[in-house]
Chain A
């Protein structure tokens, strides 16, 4: 039973309704209208439609979905694959889980529309191993689709529209959410991102042309096709149309997911979550999952879309908003964050492997009251040695939060070093 009051919009409109996760319930509420419309279209026109919709990937990078689809080679000399990235592991993000639990058919319909558009014959849904319930729900939904002829051969009676879906359970590593790390893991190898080029559209899973999209990205697609461009473009901002499921966590009264148009001001989203807990003052907000640089209370006016957030030196990421009140020790935040990235670095690239470890040791030392001014200089310098220099964006993800924390909360670090102890009450465990 969902007890949270949801700010409903198209994605989550029926999430409180248990029937919606079943195919019949989904169809009764407009499900698969998008796919029916899609198969009447030429695949190329469909790609063009998604491109014109301006739909941006909801997995963190915000890349144009239609453009990504257009990278897939035309022609049928090699089978083409879709991969649905359901390895949701960015700390502060829990939206894909809800989609898979409450509206798995949205994602699956989006996959089928995309499959028709790019001519993909198979989709692997890579779900993080800890997501037991979402995995069960998706498996159940896939089974229903096979039973009802939405999967398999000649889907919707369309000759040449064959598609299979394989649900794959991950084995637990943050880096398997990186698209090429995911592909390696899917192939049964150690989850380590691949060097690029070649890109997945040329050489993806098992060497075949592959497009990797996030769960939520797929979930938006049926609505765009069913309700049309004008409808979709009227929601959100000009450059970032549509809604997203903002996940609000941390020190707020009512943490949870809130589906709101992109471009909704940050302060308004936090208000939906009941505001800062216990009437305390806000200290900082991470806007899009742990790897995005932190914002300050004066940034509450920022509209939550990539084009506005990048002006403030941060990014929308996954839309996972983490709220920290005045009692939060930002050095402790740095220590916890850097511990996570140290533990999760795949260890291939020198800067990431060694840099994440070093930064963590320094942050822990400062938090424990053994820091020195030289440590601050190192923390200023090290992220710059890592950022933008590695195979994947993990090193950036590890460097940016530290840079953000230092930029905005240098005083916290200096206070630790001056006092040789943490001046804050223990707000959470290390």
Chain B
């Protein structure tokens, strides 16, 4: 492996990589090794035009761009010399002569690379008195994106994104020199299913999403690591929250799952979390307390066991591995067969979107549940998670206990209804289509009484008087037991998983 020395520190890097790539591979770019850059993006082709990443390479007379300079063994690079700092100051000054000074009203402020680098690498003052390049404000590029042409620094990340990732190529830079402008190709709209990623990769406030713009200043947000639950790809996301509300999802980099992208549908799915929520525990279609509903469910399970009535479980591909594991244990404890589950399916594409429109079908399979949308027939008690199974399949159920997040029609029909927490309100893990177990963390506090499916089932088990079952629930404990008992999960639990997840054995 070649060694690369940057400012006196030696790094072992992979063969055949450019300087920036090599540093990014080590996870040190801008967090340990600071080589500022605009046009370079780890998942797009190299452009080499912003010239911000110039470094001094021993043996080369001119400064070199780190994004397009191949590392050779023993290469010595310096970023801390005056020549490099002068070049960085130069690029910053020149980028800013045509950039409006509208940070106070710009959505990007606070997470703007131009703003950040201006502080870190720029000059304190301006030497220009000329008016800025005339350009358009608030151009509508399509259903999702608004473009402020004045703010564009022409790094062309968005152009390369559209050409290389969704391969739709709607954007281009037109004209030449300082009259260059980013525009849509005539007759097109930026309406590909991944369009909103251009707002993430735009280093400035030129491209913003209609969904997020002007909603909140970003410094009021904190980002929680989570997983998109719209399909089995399990794209890694940050949920940006403030005041117990999610304002947006951003893709979180995971090179094994979604690189740095997310589809527009997934990105906007945070809006669905609070939609049509089931908020009220019910017994026999009448509102009651949570404790009463749990007790009634426990009683039903106990009665069925005592009378020899059959108990079945219907799992859900929407709940976490831990919730499913508690269901598995409960069913085993009452001598019931393994649960089945149904998966909603839809369109897929070659990039991220998968056919299975649920985050954890693979997890259900790994736990030994079988996919089936057949009716369980006439049974005494059915413990049903979610509403993926058609309502008429459950007609023969004597006591239907429903644990769900959504106020669906099944909730009208169920005998005992227990509001569950959405994935955004609990902790756990999903197993994606490629059997990668990935952690999600609580983003929101529930605004009404609700528990995770795992905890509800735990309490039902305790209320039913199952041997060794208590009402106390700790998802980390459950996860640990899961990893100890279920084949493939060896060593994979909430405490061992890092932010990139881990594939099942």
Contact = CB atoms under 8 A, between A and B. Distances in A.
A195 interface: yes
- Most B CB atoms within 10 A — which of A175, A190, A344? A190
A351 B91 contact: yes
Contacts of B105: none
A180 to B, nearest CB: 12
Contacts of A374: 127
Nearest to A387: B62
A339 to B, nearest CB: 11
Interface string B126-170: 011010010000000000000000000110000000000000000
B178 A391 contact: no
B87 A389 contact: yes
B49 A197 contact: no
Interface stretch (A22-30, A55-63, A356-364): A356-364
A350 B68 contact: no
Q: Bin chain B's interface residue count.
A: 35 or more
Given A343-B176, A374-B127, A354 B51 contact: no
A353 B96 CA distance: 12
A349 B51 contact: yes
A388 B62 contact: yes
Contacts of A344: 176-177
A310 to B, nearest CB: 15
A166 interface: no
A179 B48 CA distance: 17
B296 interface: no
Nearest to B86: A385
Interface residues of A, number: 31
B54 interface: yes
Given A350-B52, A358-B130, A385-B90, A345 B98 contact: no
Interface string A169-199: 0000101000000000000001000010100
A347 interface: yes
A220 interface: no
B interface SS class: loop
Contacts of B56: none
Contacts of B93: 385
A389 B63 contact: yes
B94 A391 contact: no
A293 to B, nearest CB: 19
Interface in A355-373: 355-358, 361
Nearest to A378: B127
A358 B128 contact: yes
A353 B38 CA distance: 15
B64 to A, nearest CB: 10
Contacts of A89: none
A190 B130 CA distance: 29
Given A350-B52, A388-B63, A356 B177 contact: yes
Interface string B9-53: 000000000000000000000000000000000000011111110
Contacts of B127: 374, 378
B49 A348 contact: yes
A346 B49 CA distance: 11
A342 interface: yes
Interface in B46-79: 46-52, 54, 62-63, 65, 68, 70
B303 interface: no
Interface string A383-405: 00110111100000000000000
A378 B128 CA distance: 9
Contact of B94 (A190, A348, A355): A355
Nearest to A381: B127
Contact of A346 (B52, B98, B128, B177): B177
B460 to A, nearest CB: 64
B97 interface: yes
A345 B176 contact: yes
A355 to B, nearest CB: 6
Contacts of A358: 94, 97, 128, 130, 178
B177 A389 contact: no
A347 B51 contact: no
A232 B50 CA distance: 45
A350 B180 CA distance: 11
A199 to B, nearest CB: 12
B154 A390 contact: no
Given A351-B91, A358-B128, 9 more contacts: A343-B177, A350-B94, A350-B95, A352-B177, A354-B95, A356-B177, A358-B130, A385-B94, A389-B54
9 closest Cβ pairs, A-B complex:
A357-B178, A385-B90, A347-B180, A195-B48, A354-B94, A345-B177, A348-B49, A347-B177, A361-B130
10 contacts: A190-B172, A190-B173, A342-B178, A344-B176, A353-B154, A355-B94, A357-B178, A361-B130, A385-B94, A389-B90
